[in-house]
Chains A and B, each alone.
Chain A
Amino acid sequence: MAKATISALASLAILVALPVLAEEHRQLGPHVHGQGTLDIAVEGNKIEMELVAPGMDIVGFEHVATNDAQKAAVENAKAKLADVLNVFKLPAAANCKTETANVESRKETHQPGEKDDDDKPGEPEHSEFHATYTITCESPENVTGMETAYFTDFSGGQLLNVNVTTSKGQTQAQMTREKPTLDLTGVM
């Protein structure tokens, strides 16, 4: 009887302890070299865009910039990405201008315990460029498409998955090195 109580207590203790161990929240988004994501949301005359691209696509490396050339490459890429209407060209008839442009390079921390050849566990591994933009257009109805210089500016980029949401609906499309244009006639 006493033994049973002890074992019951022991299993109870384990049950209580488990959630404590599991409290660390672990999850990582996908990271595919050559592929970036561009989210576009349109409401009224406001357009919000967010670009997430692997460092590999933008500057060709994903570790922390160590030498001057690498640091310059990151700064140069940031400056290029900040000039949003040059990277993602909207029709001139829409009369758009950039309100805010915010570009940063973020690190995804590698999970301890996972095997990796180059980096020590726990070291920053993949880095991504995150850019958020707000744009206002005088005639947003003329935003019927987009042309991008992303692939000429950044030699590592192969594909941009574009998600679009407007008051008329949602759609998804791809812009590639071969077809650096986006048709928005269906949702604008």
Chain B
Amino acid sequence: MMIVRLAFQSLLNRWVTALLTVLAIAVSVMLLLGVEKVRTGARESFADTISGTDLIVGARSGSLNLLLYSVFRIGNATNNVTWKSYQDIAKMPEVAWIVPLSLGDSHHGFRVLGTNQDYFTHYKFRHGQTMTFASGGPFKDLFDAVIGSDVAEQLGYKVGDKIIVAHGVGSISFYKHEDKPFRVSGILAKTGTPIDRTVHVSLEAIEAIHIDWRNGVPNPDQSVSADEVRKMDLTPRAITAAMVGLKSKLSTFRVQRRINDYPEEPLSAIMPGVALQELWGLIGTAETALSVVSAMVVATALLGMVTMILTTLNERRREMAILRSVGATPATVLGLLAAEGGLLTLAGVVFGTVGLYAGLYLARPFIDHTYGLSLPIDPPRAEEWLKLGAIVIAGFLAGLLPAVRAYRLSLADGMMVRI
């Protein structure tokens, strides 16, 4: 105990360098724990995005691709699904509900999703929660739109506002559906999923705004006004994907196989939970790389600490000599410096951990808001405690390095003071 007190007093005497060392270790510990938090947070956010959907059906493609574009609005579809196939799937006896999804247009960089009323009741997230409306309600009129909370907030929309949908998905679009503006009929409550960044309209509306278009551009000779279009047949020809709910989980694989073997059109049916697992397998390597990098940073910080103690060793020959003169054995000197390393690291670990949680607490609303990532504030798990303990032990062991040197020096130059 005496040694620890001595080490502490000695550090206090050199508080600036000591503080900087502690800071370096604290930052590295924050990084190490932070990476883990972001990793679990990201996984949970992804996994929470879709729940209760048994199958997602789209054109034949890889399961990850289909999952990413249909649920996360990342990337684009390889092909569309014809309306006939959609109806065939809807008619399967095992299917309890089916919700069509039609993507391809945008509004100020936010994706526009064509779907039907069932979307709002059947799409579930975060362990079975359904969407709720912050204001307004689902679309009733052909040109009604329901917007996600981020869309409303960032563009300052409220119920009743008119919006114009742009063709294509870029944030700057050359073609806009200006002749057929939409009215915001409802704003959804925040979900923390890609829904927040989506403008929802009816499938018929998607068809209506494209009805007088040819080859991806408006056809000036055949302009159809918003009123005229209401009288036309607006049955969609194709959709991008569909979410399917089944009456019984037992039929999941059967229905999946039947859709994958559907002879009239090459389709893919994927299980969203299974595709997500595939995604983790893919991201796993990057996650390991991140953990390795943060471990390296901790090692660098410890190395910095050893350097700090070693460089001060020369200046502290007087200190050591005085200690020896009052009866400290060389072993005490060894213990003193090892304790110094341990103390510095322990302080770094404590500050780092506290700092991380303080930072998490402060930055959480911001991160949730900007990145849609809800980071968990839970106590460190066993694995993390183990890591923290390992760092303290590593720090103590690293402190032994200068300690051994001091031990040898104190034997050699004992009481001699060279000036």
Contacts and interface: CB of A to CB of B under 8 A. Distances in A.
B277 A165 contact: no
A27 B261 contact: yes
Contact of B277 (A43, A166, A167, A171): A171
Given A27-B261, A165-B54, A43 B249 contact: yes
B278 interface: yes
Contacts of A62: none
A42 B273 CA distance: 15
Interface string B243-260: 000001111110000000
A170 B279 CA distance: 14
Given A165-B271, A169-B51, A41 B277 contact: no
Interface residues of A, number: 18
A170 B263 contact: no
Contacts of A25: 263
Contacts of B272: 170
B250 A170 contact: no
A172 B278 contact: yes
B274 interface: yes
Contacts of A166: 249
State the main secondary structure of chain A at its contact with B: strand
Interface residues of B, number: 17
A167 B248 CA distance: 9
Contacts of A173: 277
Given A25-B263, A165-B54, A172 B274 contact: yes
A57 interface: no
Interface centre among B51, B271, B273 (most CB of A within 10 A): B273
Given A171-B277, A172-B277, A173-B277, A163 B250 contact: no
A36 B104 CA distance: 38
A172 B252 CA distance: 14
Contacts, number: 44
Nearest to A23: B263
B250 A41 contact: yes
Given A27-B261, A169-B51, A163 B249 contact: no
A171 B250 contact: no
Nearest to B247: A43
A133 B191 CA distance: 40
Nearest to B252: A165
A163 B253 contact: yes
Contacts of A48: 250, 253
A163 B272 CA distance: 11
Contacts of B51: 169
Given A27-B261, A43-B248, A170 B271 contact: yes
B331 to A, nearest CB: 48
Nearest to B280: A172
Interface string A35-64: 000010111001010100000000000000
B129 to A, nearest CB: 14
Interface string B78-106: 00000000000000000000000000000
Nearest to A48: B250
A125 to B, nearest CB: 19
Given A25-B263, A170-B274, 13 more contacts: A27-B261, A27-B266, A39-B253, A41-B251, A43-B248, A48-B250, A165-B249, A170-B54, A170-B271, A171-B273, A171-B277, A172-B273, A172-B278
16 contacts: A27-B261, A41-B251, A41-B253, A43-B249, A46-B250, A48-B253, A163-B271, A165-B54, A165-B252, A165-B253, A165-B273, A170-B271, A170-B274, A171-B273, A172-B277, A173-B277
